[in-house]
Amino acid sequence: MPGQLSRFVLGLHRQRRHEHVIAAINESLIAGQSQPWMYDVLALTMQIVGRPRTEIERVLLSRIDFTATDVPNMLLSAAYLTRFGADQQALILYRQASRISPTRPEPYALGLKLAERLQDHDAIRWAATGTLTYTWPADYRRRHQAALDAASDAEVALRKSGRVSQAEKLAEAVAVARQRDLVVTLSWNGPGELDLRIQEPLGTVCDFDNRQTRSGGALVHDGFGPVQQNCFEEYVCAFAAAGEYRLVIDHVDGEIVGKRGKLTIRRYVGTDNEQVHTHPVVLDSRQKVVRLSLQGGRRVKLSDALPASFTDARRKKPRGRPFRFGPSAEQPGKRGRRRRPVATGYTPVVSMLSEGVANTALAVVSGDRRYVRLTVDAVFTSIIDVATFSFRR
């Protein structure tokens, strides 16, 4: 039945019988045969025939019944609402998605754009603080800067309008969101490479292959020489568990100037009790172990799960380095070194994305050349959002 109905609706659409499409879907919904795709097709068809926007919004909001606990589908529904100009309803849906999956970046990033467009200062506070609270391994600095800019603009607007108390609450919320329980930075000089691996008190391990852990830790930068600005590893844990952290430093490749590195440990960043300690690390062996303790961590248990964006990236994305030519990173007689590709790089694939209405036609001429049969297909395409990123980490 569902397959027959979809083919029937598709046939009506190709015949441009849009009112019949609306009637067929409405009857299916009344008969209790509803499916998520029906609401999408119904909304688009109603827009084609010029139905009132309030009716279209009601249809799109009805789709949420199928996505009440499914965050990806909730994000899709919010994108549909945005396409039809229902920004306020889409913003509500993004906020609902963030309550279900608070560590997922998309609701905050997309919601922040809508909140700025609507000049909704309460929503800006939600999106900005949500973005700043969490540290995502991929391009988190750009996200954080966008959130800070939006919060700063909102604070200025609130003060100019005389709402000083709201402005102060916004500034206080941003300051709390920027707090970090533990930040560890390993830096060095020279063309070599060091790797940092953190064994956390709750039993999780944060390293390149597991850049985000259920303990809240994130390896936000994986460095290598010879460019000095890139010679550092950085680990950030906003909500860290109290206990002992075991830092394992691996000398992976190349020469390190002076055979020394520098370990900077920052505790309770952004609070009145912030502590900063710097320790030299003598690289007299291929592996060094440093232990540190954290007494005032705010985490008491593991997160339920990592967002899909973290797990998929870890499973699909190979470890890459800029092109390097020279001796292999793994040589006979040197133990403890991991196998690294000698020359590895990223090859971007450039493709074209169309936006708007595309119309294709196929003409078939009969054998006696008396008749021409035309098959016309119209495609409506809209680019909802574009995220930029760098190929080099």
2-177 in CATH: which number? 1.25.40.10
Q: Is 187 exposed, middle or buried (0-12, 13-18, 19+ CB in 10 A)?
A: middle
pLDDT score recorded for residue 147:
93
Structure confidence at residue 370 (pLDDT): 82
82-117: b or e for each residue (b if 16 or more CB lie within 10 Å)?
bbbebbebbbbbbbbbbeebebbbbbbbbbbbbbbe
Phi, psi of 288 (to 5 degrees): -125, 145
Contacts 24+ apart (CB under 8 A), 78-83: 78/110, 79/110, 79/384, 79/385, 80/40, 80/43, 81/57, 82/114, 82/384, 83/382, 83/384
Cβ atoms 353, 383 nearer than 8 A: yes
- Note the pLDDT of residue 123: 94
How far is 298 from 215, CA to CA, in rounded Å?
A: 11
**CA–CA gap between residue 320 and residue 382 (Å, rounded):** 33
For residue 23, the SS3 value is: helix
Q: How far apart are CA 7 and CA 13, in angstroms?
A: 10
| β-pairing verdict for 180-187 and 232-237 | antiparallel
Cα 365 to Cα 361, 371, 376, distances in angstroms = 13, 6, 15
Least Cα distance to 10 among 26, 28, 24, 27 occurs for 24
Looking at residue 199, its pLDDT comes to 96
**Contact present, 223 and 232 (Cβ < 8 Å):** yes
Alpha helices in the chain (DSSP H): 2-14, 18-30, 36-49, 53-62, 71-83, 87-100, 105-118, 121-133, 140-160, 164-177, 308-316
Do 204 and 215 form a contact (C-beta atoms < 8 A)? Answer: yes
- Domain spans, the chain: 2-177, 180-316
Q: What angle do CA 6, 8, 10 make, to 5 degrees?
A: 70
| Number of neighbours of residue 361 by Cβ within 10 angstroms | 9
* Residue found by looking up tokens 């050349």 in the block: 369
Q: Report pLDDT for 276.
A: 96
DSSP annotation string for 333-355? T-TTPPP--SS------------
Q: Are 41 and 47 in contact (CB under 8 A)?
A: no
- Strand 287-294, strand 193-199: pairing: unpaired
**CB 22, CB 49: distance < 8 Å:** yes
Q: Measured in Å, how far apart are the chain's first and last C-alpha atoms?
A: 50
Residues with Cβ < 8 Å from 356, sequence gap 6 or more?
380, 381
Q: Compute the C-alpha angle 195/199/200, nearest 5°.
A: 135
Encode the chain (393 residues) as per-residue pLDDT tens digits: 556 777 787 788 788 888 888 888 888 777 777 776 677 778 778 878 888 877 877 777 776 666 556 787 778 778 777 877 778 878 888 898 888 888 888 899 899 999 999 999 999 999 999 999 988 766 788 889 999 999 999 999 999 999 999 999 999 999 999 999 999 999 999 999 999 999 999 999 999 889 989 998 999 999 888 888 999 999 999 999 999 999 999 999 889 999 999 999 999 999 999 999 999 999 999 999 999 999 989 998 888 766 544 444 444 444 444 444 334 344 333 334 444 444 455 566 777 777 778 888 888 888 777 888 888 888 777 776 666 655 444
